Amino acid sequence: MRRSVGLALTAAAASSALVAAALPAQAAPGRAPSGTAGYRPHLNWKSCNDSQNPRLLCAKLEVPLDHARPDGPKIKIAVNRLPATAPAGERQGPILLNPGGPGISGLWMAPWVPSKLPADVAASYDWIGFDLRGTQGSEPHMACDPHYFDGPRPDYQPSAGTEGAWLRKAAGYAADCAAKYADLLPHLRTVDIVRDMDDIRRALGAGKISFFGWSYGTTLGSTYGQLFPGHVKRLVLDSIVGPHISWYEQNVRQDLQHEKRFKAFTQWVAKADGVYHLGTDAAGVERKWYAMRASLGKTPVDGKIGADEWDDTQLAGGYDPAKWPRLATVLAAYTNSNDAGPLRVAYNRYAAPDPNDDSFDLYNAVQCSDSTWPRDWSFWRKDQARIDKKAHYYTYSNMWYNAACVFWAGKGGERTRITGKGLPAALLFQATEDAATVYQGGVEMAKAMPNSRFVVEQGGGRHAITLAGNACLDKPLIDYLRDGTLPKDHGLVDLRCAKSPDPTPTWVGVTKAAEQPSDNVRPLDNYRIR
């Protein structure tokens, strides 16, 4: 086993080195592109032919592959727009939207976000959704390995003897990306996407834009504000990635917080023994969860839903407690009745791979190049084992999700340092128990932007907390978007809101698809910042 791992590492390293040598040089992060003569961004709007949103317009924006070479090769960014309907004197210009990922499509947000706001606020903006370069509706559309997540995969736990298999899998994936997208990969950092955003602004003919982003979108928004502070009107960051942390260390924070959220789930289930009949002891519920995992590892359901697939399905509950009733039903049905029906439904909703979804490709492309990653696997092995002792639930799942960065073509750089200099006051939102973007990151961003206002959901465990039903959180958002009104300055935290209540324990059975209860309020299902 050790010998075969060594061969895989050597081959991947050689492949990465050859590809990296062939790639054009990357402009230094934070450096303004040199010259724009001859390039003028333009949007040719056409109807999206969306029957539910007939006013929605679509376009493809040509942008430079390399913003340091504006007259060089071009790629296309998918953009859509729900135009303002307010009288001309009441319009506030464009607001760009991003849901995170990196790599999740932002096109759904243009009609969705204003539908959740008061009519006067919705009417006053041009709502702009877009897909990041290299992903979804943009061109080219990355597809390194559409079957990378097909199950059952090797067990995430190295104790199962799967380290070699996963290393070969991660190295092969990185090599596939390098071979297919050698020209594109050096130009998929956050700063490249941010310059695309400014080209969208220019194409819209706007002197300033506003921005509203969740999760990785907070990295986009804060970086845009750092590089182009004079072009920012309003800036909303919800569920915040720390402004300076490396992506490797961001994952460590996630591991520790996901462990807490998993234990919060088992405690909730233990209090609902009358519904799920899994016992009243949270530790006992946790043991049953791991027993189910072991069983699926030996005998995957339908030959594809194994231990890893159960991990990925459960992960959705770490992003949104609204999914807890379904996940508890899955555990109870399988444990008490050997019934895998609810598992099939939950897996298909939360974790089943979609060959047409390339968000994982851009996730790697951005994160592996945005900051420096350890390239010595012996460091990973030792460090992740240390973390696993504190956070067994998520550590190795998260490790293998990111392991391609060990082999990624080209070296990682450094994230743009955020100071808030020259920015108007931003509005920041963070839940204290968020597992994907940990509370500490919100605190760090509030300190990095000293004239911002920081709104905290105390005890909240949801990821992306605005427009999700908590009126205390939504009011400052609406006030700020309406006329720039901010909460009064009360120090680091300017407004604390009580958390949204945990869901009522209910049995979520298997019914016809049309009759299935919805536990999602928006297309932000099981994704990582991930």
C-alpha to C-alpha distances, 363 to 40, 197, 408, 487, nearest whole angstrom: 29, 18, 12, 34
Give yes or no: residues 482 and 364 share one domain: no
Return all residues near 195 (Cβ < 8 A) that are at least 6 apart: 33, 63, 67, 227
Return all residues near 469 (Cβ < 8 A) that are at least 6 apart: 500, 521
Annotation says 463 is catalytic: yes
Query: What's the 3-state SS for 138-205?
Result: CECCCCCCCCCCCCCCCCCCHHHCCHHHHHHHHHHHHHHHHHHCCCCHHHCCHHHHHHHHHHHHHHHC
Determine the Cα–Cα distance for residues 191 and 228; give it in Å rounded to an integer.
Answer: 11
pLDDT of residue 509: 86
Give yes or no: residues 483 and 351 share one domain: no
Query: Per-residue pLDDT tens for 382-408?
Result: 999 999 999 999 999 999 999 999 999
pLDDT truncated to tens, each residue of the chain (530 aa)?
A: 222 223 233 333 433 332 333 233 333 333 444 444 578 999 999 999 999 999 999 999 999 999 999 999 999 999 999 999 999 999 999 999 999 999 999 999 999 999 999 999 999 999 999 999 999 999 999 999 999 999 999 999 999 999 999 999 999 999 999 999 999 999 999 999 999 999 999 999 999 999 999 999 999 999 999 999 999 999 999 999 999 999 999 999 999 999 999 999 999 999 999 999 999 999 999 999 999 999 999 999 999 999 999 999 999 999 999 999 999 999 999 999 999 999 999 999 999 998 888 899 999 999 999 999 999 999 999 999 999 999 999 999 999 999 999 999 988 999 999 999 999 999 999 999 999 999 999 999 999 999 999 999 999 999 999 999 999 999 999 999 999 999 999 999 999 999 999 999 999 988 755 456 666 555 554 455 44
Q: Is residue 36 part of a domain?
A: no
Closest CA to 82 of 121, 123, 44, 51: 123
Give yes or no: residues 260 and 388 share one domain: yes
- Domain count for the chain: 2
Give yes or no: residues 110 and 97 share one domain: yes
pTM for the structure as a whole? 0.91
pLDDT of residue 355: 81
* C-beta atoms surrounding 525 within 10 Å: 15
CATH code of the domain covering residue 426: 3.40.50.1820
pLDDT of residue 126: 98
Give yes or no: residues 151 and 239 share one domain: no
Q: Is residue 430 part of a domain?
A: yes
Where do we find the tokens 């009522």?
504
Q: Is residue 9 part of a domain?
A: no
Give yes or no: residues 219 and 353 share one domain: no
Q: Is residue 267 part of a domain?
A: yes
Closest CA to 64 of 223, 228, 196, 221: 196
pLDDT of residue 33: 44
Determine the Cα–Cα distance for residues 487 and 123; give it in Å rounded to an integer.
Answer: 23
Give yes or no: residues 264 and 378 share one domain: yes
Annotation says 490 is catalytic: no
Which of 198, 463, 474, 519 is catalytic? The answer is 463
Which of 215, 222, 246, 369 is catalytic? The answer is 215
Q: Is residue 35 part of a domain?
A: no
Query: Per-residue pLDDT tens for 81-103?
Result: 999 999 999 999 999 999 999 99
Q: Is residue 31 part of a domain?
A: no
Give yes or no: residues 154 and 127 share one domain: no
Which of 434, 474, 494, 519 is catalytic? The answer is 434
Q: Is residue 13 part of a domain?
A: no
Annotation says 434 is catalytic: yes
Give the distance from CA 106 to its chain's centroid: 11
Give yes or no: residues 445 and 467 share one domain: yes
The answer to whether 420 touches 452, Cβ cutoff 8 Å, is: yes
Give yes or no: residues 203 and 327 share one domain: no
Percentage of the chain exceeding pLDDT 70: 89
The answer to whether 413 touches 387, Cβ cutoff 8 Å, is: no
Give yes or no: residues 458 and 514 share one domain: no
Determine the Cα–Cα distance for residues 441 and 240; give it in Å rounded to an integer.
Answer: 6
- Domain of residue 294: give its range: 143-183+247-372+374-407+501-522
Give yes or no: residues 333 and 268 share one domain: yes
Q: Is residue 444 part of a domain?
A: yes
